[in-house]
Structure 1
Amino acid sequence: MLFNPALLKLYKTPLLLVLASALFYTVFAYDLVRTDYVKLVSIYAALFFLFYKLVQIFKSNFKALTYIAFGFRAIFILAIPNLSQDFYRFIWDGRLILEGFNPYLYTVDAFTNNAQFPVSQAQELREGMGNLNASHFTNYPPINQLCFVIAGLFAGKSILGSVVVMRLLIIAADFGTLHFGKKLLEELRLPAYNIFWYVLNPFIIIELTGNLHFEGVMIFFLVWSLYLLHCGKWQWAAMVFAVSISTKLIPLIFLPLFFQWFITTRTTKQSDTIGKVASSSLTPSNKAIKGIIKLISFYSIVIITTILLFAPFYSSAFLNNYTQTVALWFKNFEFNASLYYIAREIGYSFRDRNEIAVIGKVIPYIIIVFVLIITFFRRNKTTLQLITAMLLVLTFYYFTATTIHPWYIATLVILSVFTKYKFPLVWSFVIILSYLSYLNINKADKSENLWIIALEYIIVYGVFIWEVFIKKAPKMEASI
């Protein structure tokens, strides 16, 4: 019997939630302008509520949640990103490589200002990406560039075709994250459905699948690497970790945190849920020496693999251009920051000018000190402890950074599913406020609305402080 009224009645509420979500995603993808702030926030809030209810209802049905999560992604297949224009630069870089140019050696404006159009639809791409993107050298690492090249190969001269190809790559990466995330959760004896706090999250679907940010690809390799590391396959883990770095540089900040994990030598797979490490007949000193050798080998594999992946683009000009471009995120750009804006206001009160150049030089040293403190003075001996340390380090970095674009916190969301902390999930909800930051009463005022940013961070810091410093921690790492 094709139609079963009893079955329909039983699943009426879940079906309505799925259909409502699909409708909202369709409107978001094809009928939303970024400056329509009321519509933007309303749809996003509705999607977040529906997401929470769907995970609650289907948490015992992994297959259903999988179909739903990727069904929602499929809605975006033919949509042009409406919250970000970065994809125009992605297409430019991919086509430039196919024309035989090194994308790290030329700005877009270096061509177009001289009436040179090395790629098809050059003027349209230049107009789409905007002045800021066109005036700087590319900062996307080689695996990211490979994705752009694949889009250029399969889409030809079609901008929409390039968008579709890149979107399929990001969706494929999400499948990988789902697969290895589930396996890692099972190894850690945590609920497998925890992975859907990432995979089904509207923030992830909209920012990664919808707006084509390749954090999703980086996260896939990061999760895969952590799974391999947990299983004792540290050599392969190092290679995959290097691929993650070569997609987005952010995993570099995690490298010191592996110190204790390797020094605590394992002879069999560890049992993180009870915090015990397998015993060994080796003496403590021999264990430490063996661990140090493994640690050095791990770092060596990561460094060598990363260098090899960057090697095809290497030149002295590349090194200079790339480091200068990365430095811009510390010394020039500012958006949706928190502690930095407080420091900036203090600078204004003393010297009546923006001290970003000075503050930007200090921030990296503060971050390095914090990373070293977490590395040597916090227990990071098990996989759960290691992932929690990664979460705390990256959170501190984002709290002190001068620029926090919404898609940056995707890495916090995936790390949180393996820990007891929920503040990244809360941040993935309130991050939508960053799109309202230029909403000023005076339309001529192009500066950020600090009241809106303050609201975002009051919520995030409130939950963070409650969870990390006030709430009594459970004896074991629990599910979210």
Structure 2
Amino acid sequence: MALENQSRIAVTLKALVFTLLSAGGYIAISYFTNRVWFYQFIGLYAGLFVLYFAFVQWYLKLQEGLTIRHIQIIGVLLRLSVFFMIPNLSDDFFRFYWDGKLLFHGYNPYLILPKDFIGTPEAAKLDFTQELYQAMNSQTHYTIYPPFNQVLFATSPGLFPHNLLGGAIVMRVWILLGEIGLLWLLPKMLKAINQSPKGVVWYALNPYIVLELTANLHFEGVMIFMLLLALYWLIKGGYLLTGDNQANTHYLLPIRIKLFEITLPPSSAVKPKYLILSTIAFTLAVNTKLIPLIFLPPLLLFLGWKRSIIYYAIVIGLTAFLFSFFITPDFIAKFQDSFNLYFQKFEFNASVYYLLRWIGYQTHGYNLIAVFGIALSVISTLGALVIALYPIQKAQAKHLPLKMVFILTFYYLMATIVHPWYISVIMTLAILTPYRFPMIWSAMLGFTYYAYSTNPYQENLYLVAVEYLVVVGWLVWELRKAYRIKTAAKHSAR
């Protein structure tokens, strides 16, 4: 008994030391580090990840003394350590606040350019200050944040019309609620697909997640919660099979079969109300960030034609309804104008595109982003569809997040712009799979902050190359490992 008590005390002390050291690192980055101080940032960031990987490996091997509830509490406490600050690593918050202020005062945020609005009598009357305007990074672009996100933005200036810190805290409440939802939901989903619920530790304590979502106020935290809630309700409603078939867990695309030979639960075994709830959650995910739209095609393999068409129709219908409050004759043109900039002008932390850009300079002497951007967007869309619709024998719930991980990974490898927080979706979904390369990616994304240490902003392409070489190398290693497992399983079955 004495030895057992000593062991529990040792476990508690290790968890306490980890929590205090990590909180200290988050406070040092969030309150005392300017994003132009790259070497200070990367040193702290690397230290946080050393702690993280060491603690996760120790916890996953631990038999007792630290429960999932303890991990969830530590995760919330670490997020609270960055709660009372204006984001210092990202300036997106200021556009969120701007859009929210427009909407709160009855203006359509999709129709107003900040550069045209600032300095007008209306802007002065509503206290759109030069401080807010100068802090924004998109003064000449129309907003493209979807309606549900705009509503969340509006609560911030609605409660704190003259206080940016107060506004940041309001937004952080929404994101923290989404993250708490994920900390609650992930163990349930892991259990449902016959994996250890302890896997939630990968999300709960990840420094990249804490900094990019709660600290930097990126609403992926809300979007991912809604996305996983949609999947969870499909499982709960009996629409996704959860039988224990571990042999297929390690394969991305295990066995080729005819597309229409899909194993589906009978109508008597499903609960339609959960399909409706899932579509509502998925709609809110899409209307927080548009990227979940890319996950609609693979549902066909898991729901079948009839149920998929119903699902698509509800999601598209609800999305159209939410957008209908903002649609005017000018809306589509202005929204499309900003959307096209994403593929034809903006570039950051790209991989394949940067290689093509270099070739363009060698052959034509200038940047061919207008050509390569469109071409890569077509390739990424077609590639995502191939991965989405490539059939799986006995498709189960555990295969859907696996497809989602590789769809989005391929999409971002083809993208011209990959901001750090984009990878949070891949990293969270990967927890539901055997693959861990997104966790490595989350660590490597710290290199992207080098660009802010230069004036004007300039990426270090050597660091970008290191990032993608490590990530792709780790991915290839995991794919080869999965192939060996698949081959061994075939031999043992003979």
Match of 2:470 in 1: 459
Match of 2:349 in 1: 336
Match of 1:472 in 2: 483
Indicate how the Cα distance of structure 1 residues 193 and 110 shifts in structure 2: closer, same or farther if over 3 A, else same: same
- Of 53-62 and 379-388, more deviation after overlay is shown by 53-62
Deviation of 1:375 (Å): 2.9
Residue aligned with 1:138, SS:
coil
Q: 1:447 aligns with which of 450, 458, 466?
A: 458
Match of 1:308 in 2: 321
- Of 14-23 and 243-252, more deviation after overlay is shown by 14-23
Asked if structure 1 preserves the Cα contact closer than 8 Å seen for 2:87 and 2:215, the reply is: yes
Q: 1:236 aligns with which of 256, 277, 296?
A: 277
Match of 1:285 in 2: none
Q: Deviations over 1:77-109 (max 9, x none)?
A: 111111101101111111111111100000111
C-alpha distance in structure 2 between counterparts of 1:224 and 1:153, whole Å:
28
Residue identity in the other structure for 2:389: F
Q: Deviations over 1:83-136 (max 9, x none)?
A: 101101111111111111100000111112556525324211101114xx1111
Match of 1:366 in 2: 379
Matched, 1:92 2:98: yes
Q: Deviations over 1:332-358 (max 9, x none)?
A: 000000000001111111111100001
Q: 1:117 aligns with which of 120, 123, 141?
A: 123
C-alpha distance in structure 2 between counterparts of 1:363 and 1:373, whole Å:
15
Deviation of 1:10 (Å): 5.9
C-alpha distance in structure 2 between counterparts of 1:194 and 1:226, whole Å:
17
- Map 1:72-221 → 2, pairs under 5 A: 72-112=78-118, 114=120, 117=123, 119-130=126-137, 133-221=138-226
Residue identity in the other structure for 1:204: I
Deviation of 1:235 (Å): 2.4
Indicate how the Cα distance of structure 1 residues 258 and 123 shifts in structure 2: closer, same or farther if over 3 A, else same: same
Indicate how the Cα distance of structure 1 residues 191 and 223 shifts in structure 2: closer, same or farther if over 3 A, else same: same
Deviation of 1:321 (Å): 1.0
Q: Deviations over 1:174-199 (max 9, x none)?
A: 01112222211111111112122112
C-alpha distance in structure 2 between counterparts of 1:107 and 1:445, whole Å:
23
Match of 1:15 in 2: 16
Asked if structure 2 preserves the Cα contact closer than 8 Å seen for 1:398 and 1:404, the reply is: yes
Residue identity in the other structure for 1:253: I
C-alpha distance in structure 2 between counterparts of 1:449 and 1:116, whole Å:
42
- Of 88-97 and 466-475, more deviation after overlay is shown by 466-475
Residue identity in the other structure for 1:463: W
Q: Deviations over 1:155-214 (max 9, x none)?
A: 232110000010111000001112222211111111112122112211000000000000
Residue identity in the other structure for 1:403: I
Residue aligned with 1:117, SS:
helix
Matched, 1:250 2:291: yes
Q: Deviations over 1:133-159 (max 9, x none)?
A: 111111111111111111122223211
C-alpha distance in structure 2 between counterparts of 1:297 and 1:211, whole Å:
37
Q: Percent identity?
A: 36
Q: Aligned-residue CA RMSD in angstroms?
A: 2.0
C-alpha distance in structure 2 between counterparts of 1:124 and 1:445, whole Å:
20
Residue aligned with 1:313, SS:
coil
Match of 1:399 in 2: 413
C-alpha distance in structure 2 between counterparts of 1:9 and 1:468, whole Å:
37
C-alpha distance in structure 2 between counterparts of 1:43 and 1:378, whole Å:
44
Q: Deviations over 1:342-382 (max 9, x none)?
A: 01111111111100001111122212221221233242822
C-alpha distance in structure 2 between counterparts of 1:9 and 1:386, whole Å:
39
Q: 1:322 aligns with which of 335, 338, 344?
A: 335
Q: TM-score if structure 1 supplies the norm length? A: 0.87
C-alpha distance in structure 1 between counterparts of 2:11 and 2:402, whole Å:
40
Q: 1:388 aligns with which of 394, 402, 405?
A: 402
Q: TM-score if structure 2 supplies the norm length? A: 0.85
Indicate how the Cα distance of structure 1 residues 346 and 318 shifts in structure 2: closer, same or farther if over 3 A, else same: same
C-alpha distance in structure 2 between counterparts of 1:429 and 1:35, whole Å:
19
Match of 2:446 in 1: 432
Deviation of 1:386 (Å): 1.4
Number of residue pairs matched by the alignment: 439
C-alpha distance in structure 2 between counterparts of 1:204 and 1:421, whole Å:
17
C-alpha distance in structure 2 between counterparts of 1:444 and 1:436, whole Å:
11
Q: Which has the higher contact order (CA 8 A, sep 6+)?
A: 2
Q: Deviations over 1:55-74 (max 9, x none)?
A: 34445511111111100111
Match of 1:282 in 2: none
Asked if structure 2 preserves the Cα contact closer than 8 Å seen for 1:137 and 1:322, the reply is: yes
Indicate how the Cα distance of structure 1 residues 328 and 10 shifts in structure 2: closer, same or farther if over 3 A, else same: closer
C-alpha distance in structure 2 between counterparts of 1:68 and 1:428, whole Å:
20
- Map 1:34-45 → 2, pairs under 5 A: 34-45=35-46
Deviation of 1:444 (Å): 6.7
Residue identity in the other structure for 1:349: Q
Match of 1:274 in 2: none
Q: 1:419 aligns with which of 420, 433, 449?
A: 433
Asked if structure 1 preserves the Cα contact closer than 8 Å seen for 2:36 and 2:452, the reply is: no
Asked if structure 2 preserves the Cα contact closer than 8 Å seen for 1:437 and 1:453, the reply is: no
Asked if structure 2 preserves the Cα contact closer than 8 Å seen for 1:258 and 1:295, the reply is: yes
Indicate how the Cα distance of structure 1 residues 146 and 10 shifts in structure 2: closer, same or farther if over 3 A, else same: closer
- Of 224-233 and 100-109, more deviation after overlay is shown by 224-233
Residue identity in the other structure for 1:459: V
Match of 2:309 in 1: 296
C-alpha distance in structure 2 between counterparts of 1:62 and 1:351, whole Å:
57
Residue identity in the other structure for 2:300: F
